[in-house]
Amino acid sequence: GELSKSRGLIPHYVGLKEKEKLVATALILEKKLPLGYSYYYIPRGYTIDYNNYELLKNFTFKIKEYAKKNKAIFFKIDPDIKLHTIDKNANVVNDGNNNYELVNYLKKIGFHRKKYFENMQPRFTFRLDTTKDIDIIRKNYSKSVIRWIKVANKFGVEVKEAEKNEIKEFIRLMKITEKRQGFFSHEYGFYPKLYDLFSKIDAISLL
């Protein structure tokens, strides 16, 4: 929320209580629009038990009321929900875990699922479990990853943890990658601000 102020967004911290117990929260980022209107974005969705459909519906409707009262024309979320399990070749595992029922319920209470990729907010994110033994991780590298590691080794590429004064070089590399890969990175001032805020809680590493 604090970081987003530097991007011209207004943070709202909201929650829902049941019998004095906080059962759901959300960080709402407000973007001002002409004529006194705005829209809301809730990064990574609510902090909530997504399996509690009644709670999910109640909190959604409360935020809808809050948005309407404050002249927000819509709000969007990008909840951290795994749609389905996939194998190493990105094929759906038919008997794996899935959240189709949850996604359908979100549609039922008024959400529309986007069908396209945004360069700032991708529809899909991927994670690698780094708690596994390094040999097991390496065994699952794809052929292209192995090839790029060999290229990096050939040219003496190294990864190191950097200090704040090296952010300028980090941004330079980001801008080169942005141009080559066609995604959008933040403006220069965003990264030092991010580094300062998250350094206070020891929650950032610059590599």
| Tokens (6 digits) for 71 | 């002249």
Mean pLDDT, to the nearest integer, of 22-30? 98
Task: Give pLDDT tens digits for 133-177.
Answer: 999 999 888 899 999 999 999 999 999 999 999 999 999 988 998
pLDDT value for 95? 85
> What's the pLDDT score for residue 111?
95
Residue 58 sits at φ, ψ, to 5 deg, of -60, -45
Helices (H) and strands (E) in the chain, counts: 7, 4
d(CA 50, CA 46) in angstroms, rounded, equals 9
**Three-class SS of residue 80?**
coil
Question: Whole-structure pTM over 0.85, yes or no?
Answer: no
Looking at residue 136, what is its pLDDT? 92
Would you give the DSSP letter of residue 43?
Answer: T
Cβ burial, residue 190 (10 Å; 0-12/13-18/19+): middle
pLDDT at residue 77, rounded to an integer: 94
pLDDT digits (tens, 9 = 90+) for 80-121: 888 888 887 888 888 888 999 999 999 999 999 877 656 556
